[in-house]
Structure 1
């Protein structure tokens, strides 16, 4: 059985730092990097890692190489990146913004939650970073969006549409699940959760009007009365465009095609042109296929 970890790190422009993190991710030969998505405008990189999970005699998960890989990446990131020097057009609250664990194939959500909580304990205690658990890893299933709103994640603190440095109080308004109760300005905090598969899909708008992008994003989202199970942000993306970034919480129910059509319709009402959107990761089926291909190639 396989588990997947997506690790979102706040850096792409410092190539040396990214290379250090890459080396840490490759240290464990039984963990496979199946995808790496870098966005220089957001100054953010997303890694998709996959490995097996082993169980004890009664079927409880006891080991996966993913744990060592993700913790090694965290250590490398905290050594190489100072959040106070970071700036980008995507919200974040830490050097490592988010770690999410997904079950693949016949693996269960409970196994993904076990991995998330194990990583959270390691990261919080070893690196002294406040950790907020969410979804299946949280004792009551608290959502990622709720925690982010409580911590001020969605509000830019630089030039009206950028996130720079640590922009929150060092004494955190909500108690973390692991690690210290005060945030380091150099490292920030990290969210770690477990959930069924989600898809991330971004739609470029050929306009620099970020207010219009935010209005469209809200109207597309379930929170704004649009598509249920779709969460969105309207963000600046480069010098000439904005972007609707979307999390599709149930992509088999409401997929990218519906999101694309909704964005196009709303943008047209405002006289704005839209480009074809793009996924930032592979589908679960493609991830398993790539994992099997890469792990077999390494063993041959």
Structure 2
């Protein structure tokens, strides 16, 4: 019997045990959060199909969604519990099957060769990121990231690159993206259109084939502590302004044309150390030196506390 079959049997046995005392399991659970980034935001029917796939699993909750038509990109925030064995090792989470259902729906409805937008991407399912919440650990998040990576690689024959805690060496997301040419536009100077990857990857992925599907591309999957996503609009479409130096430590930025302005997409890797006020002030100072106005930035997701609160409220409503 194959390892994959044994794994599915173990998951089924765990699920059956959970059904006997579901209320107790949920009350005592630790929580994992998944941010799922899809290369589509303009086709409502496609997004409806992806969301409907997630709703087939009532123990996983979509707590938020951020759509951006200029970027042609949508990201979902999902939460569910994770079950650990007596040693504290993660062995099951409903989040795994919910994410896979959404991935399957996305692959079935989106063709990367036909995709365009101002946000760079390498795949239909461009990125999947897992965070520990409440009493979950980073090891729990890394376990789920690697489990989902194996499923996507095996079921859909898509190359998967792992990053941060999910990667054996802790390789960073931006490093992998740079190696794969993620930051190089392929049309009109600031647009990403069609696919950008070769048919065969020069570097072996962490999971899956080296051959790249023209329709699906590749997927990046990682696990890390909580990060904050914060966008700052600059009233200029001159991307050279957004390329100014002087960045803050533990803050990664990407300047992208967004309609008649430019947005600085910020990832705050340690938001408790360097927060949005410091980032906002830094961008305003650099823009002022160029004579450019800056608008107040905005978060693209809720805080950890708000996400946990929404999950608890929505999951309670579903059980009732």
TM-score by length of 2: 0.90
User: In the alignment, does 2:309 pair up with 1:268?
Assistant: no
CA deviation vs aligned residue, 1:230-282 (integer Å, no higher than 9, x gap) = 000111001x1111110000000001111100011111111101100001111
In the alignment, which residue of structure 1 is the partner of 2:189? 160
CA distance in 2, matches of 1:22, 1:298: 16
User: In the alignment, does 2:257 pair up with 1:236?
Assistant: yes
CA distance in 2, matches of 1:200, 1:173: 31
Of residues 182, 194, 211 in structure 1, which corresponds to 2:223?
194
Deviation, 1:155, is 0.6
CA RMSD of aligned residues (A): 0.8
Of residues 77, 80, 90 in structure 2, which corresponds to 1:48?
77
In the alignment, which residue of structure 1 is the partner of 2:59? 30
User: How many residues get paired?
Assistant: 291
Deviation, 1:56, is 1.8
In the alignment, which residue of structure 2 is the partner of 1:222? none
Of residues 252, 271, 280 in structure 1, which corresponds to 2:300?
280
Per mean C-alpha deviation after superposition, the further-off stretch among 161-170 and 30-39 is 161-170
Deviation, 1:57, is 2.6
CA deviation vs aligned residue, 1:190-218 (integer Å, no higher than 9, x gap) = 00010000011000011121222233xxx
Describe the SS at the equivalent of 1:259: helix
Task: Say which one has the larger Rg.
Answer: 2
Of residues 17, 36, 40 in structure 2, which corresponds to 1:11?
40
Of residues 194, 205, 216 in structure 1, which corresponds to 2:234?
205
CA deviation vs aligned residue, 1:104-154 (integer Å, no higher than 9, x gap) = 011100000000000000001100000001110011111111100110000
CA distance in 2, matches of 1:257, 1:147: 29
Unaligned runs of at least 5 residues, structure 1: 220-224
CA distance in 2, matches of 1:208, 1:139: 39
Deviation, 1:58, is 2.3
Deviation, 1:169, is 1.2
In the alignment, which residue of structure 2 is the partner of 1:249? 269
Report if aligned partners of 1:53, 1:61 keep a CA contact under 8 Å in 2: yes
Q: How does 1:89-100 map to 2 (within 5 A)?
A: 89-100=118-129
User: In the alignment, does 2:279 pair up with 1:259?
Assistant: yes
Per mean C-alpha deviation after superposition, the further-off stretch among 181-190 and 163-172 is 163-172
Unaligned runs of at least 5 residues, structure 2: 1-29
